[in-house]
């Protein structure tokens, strides 16, 4: 892994769309007059909360798993994640009929461990440190020959995530801008490549919590700055960019917009109340950023990628 990763191209995104077509849901696009009035734009919500495993992550994981040769695939896949990527990779592995290992800290919530196991993956425990995760994943690779699939620092994963924007552009004509949340940058990078590959004049914005503003800082300073203490309710956005996603965002985005925690909560409530759908805080970050982008986007046609809908509710009697 010494040579730098190559950014995927629009052709990679298009190939991913064909590759994963039978695997993913083509998610709907919702609109709300009430939200449009409040925000002052025509908003089109791409609902990846309705994606399999409840998040866009299944697109990237599927594309990565289906990109493997039969020989490589047979040895399985491995990742370290306790979030949506872990479930996504578990399901993608099961769909291809290959083993999947997920390295997870012993401190991860039981509900997440259960979900990953429910999709048929094997959990490999590790201590809750980055170093332990990496050495444990390396050990699994060594012992099994499994291929490591990173949650975002992987061109195959980024190309897969870009397919959501590809569908959005196909379904909504004449978009002026697209807004996507930024965590590790996989979704936003894929969105950049898909959108600009289709139409370079459509602006792409990243949306980030003030409490996890590494992409905003990195772009401002022109160098990769890892996130510090990421104290945000948008738990999917607490990760830092990689060199690969940083490079893509630097080339493509019209700007990263920061939002406060109260704005995230407001935007989430607005989506729940008006669109009647369940989204996770990370998704709401993109809508909150839109409100910030007024008047820059006043009256414009703006696509928003709602990244997912995995929220835990109290109790578990029926589950």
Q: Is 29 a binder of its own copies (CB under 8 A)?
A: no
Q: Is 195 a binder of its own copies (CB under 8 A)?
A: no
Q: Is 110 a binder of its own copies (CB under 8 A)?
A: no
Q: What are the C-alpha distances in Å from 173 to residues 17, 42, 166, 198?
A: 19, 12, 12, 12
Give the total of residues touching its own copies (CB under 8 A): 27
Sign of CA dihedral 114, 119, 124, 130: negative
Smallest distance, its own copies to C-beta of residue 50, A: 6
Nearer to its own copies, 10 or 277 (CB): 277
Smallest distance, its own copies to C-beta of residue 118, A: 9
Of 219, 212, 249, 217, the C-alpha closest to 233 is 212
| Residue pair 248/184 in contact by the 8 Å Cβ criterion | no
Question: Pairing state of beta strands 147-148 and 177-181?
Answer: unpaired
Which one of the spans 100-108, 137-145, 233-241, 310-318 is the region binding its own copies (CB under 8 A)? Answer: 310-318
Q: Is 273 a binder of its own copies (CB under 8 A)?
A: yes
Smallest distance, its own copies to C-beta of residue 57, A: 14
Smallest distance, its own copies to C-beta of residue 148, A: 28
Which one of the spans 72-80, 158-166, 203-211, 304-312 is the region binding its own copies (CB under 8 A)? Answer: 304-312
- Tokens coding 100: 């999947």
Smallest distance, its own copies to C-beta of residue 169, A: 22
| Residue pair 133/108 in contact by the 8 Å Cβ criterion | no
Binding to its own copies in span 243-272, by CB under 8 A: 262, 265-267, 269-270, 272
Cβ count within 10 A of residue 299: 12
Which one of the spans 48-56, 152-160, 167-175, 221-229 is the region binding its own copies (CB under 8 A)? Answer: 48-56
| Residue pair 90/121 in contact by the 8 Å Cβ criterion | yes
Q: Is 24 a binder of its own copies (CB under 8 A)?
A: no
Sign of CA dihedral 214, 217, 222, 228: negative
Give the integer Cα–Cα distance in Å for 298 and 312.
Answer: 35
Residues found near its own copies in the complex (CB under 8 A): 28, 38, 49-50, 54, 262, 265-267, 269-270, 272-273, 276-279, 291, 309, 311-315, 317-319
């Amino acid at each position: 892994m010494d040579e730098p990763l190559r950014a995927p191209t629009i052709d990679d995104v298009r190939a991913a769309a064909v590759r994963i077509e039978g695997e993913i849901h083509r998610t709907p696009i919702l609109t709300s007059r009430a939200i449009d009035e409040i925000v002052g734009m025509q908003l089109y919500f791409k609902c990846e909360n309705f994606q399999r495993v409840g998040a866009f992550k299944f697109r990237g994981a599927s594309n990565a798993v289906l990109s493997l040769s039969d020989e490589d695939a047979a040895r399985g896949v491995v990742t370290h994640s306790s979030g949506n990527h872990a479930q996504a990779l578990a399901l993608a592995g099961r769909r291809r009929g290959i083993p999947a290992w997920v390295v997870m800290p012993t401190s991860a919530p039981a509900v997440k461990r259960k979900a990953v196991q429910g999709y048929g993956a094997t959990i490999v425990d590790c201590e809750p440190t980055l170093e332990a995760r990496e050495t444990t994943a390396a050990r699994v690779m060594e012992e099994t020959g499994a291929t490591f699939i990173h949650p975002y620092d992987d061109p195959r994963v980024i190309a897969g995530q870009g397919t959501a924007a590809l569908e959005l552009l196909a379904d909504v004509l004449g978009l002026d801008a697209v807004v996507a949340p930024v965590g590790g940058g996989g979704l936003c990078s894929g969105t950049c490549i898909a959108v600009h590959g289709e139409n370079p004049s459509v602006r792409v914005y990243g949306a980030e919590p003030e409490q996890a503003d590494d992409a905003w800082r990195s772009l401002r300073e022109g160098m990769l700055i890892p996130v510090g203490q990421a104290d945000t309710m948008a738990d999917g956005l607490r990760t830092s960019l990689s060199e690969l996603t940083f490079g893509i965002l630097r080339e493509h985005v019209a700007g990263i917009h920061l939002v406060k925690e109260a704005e995230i909560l407001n935007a989430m409530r607005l989506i729940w109340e008006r669109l009647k759908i369940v989204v996770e805080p990370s998704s709401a970050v993109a809508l909150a950023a839109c409100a910030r982008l007024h008047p820059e986007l006043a009256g414009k046609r703006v696509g928003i990628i709602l990244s997912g809908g995995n929220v835990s509710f109290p109790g578990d009697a029926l589950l």
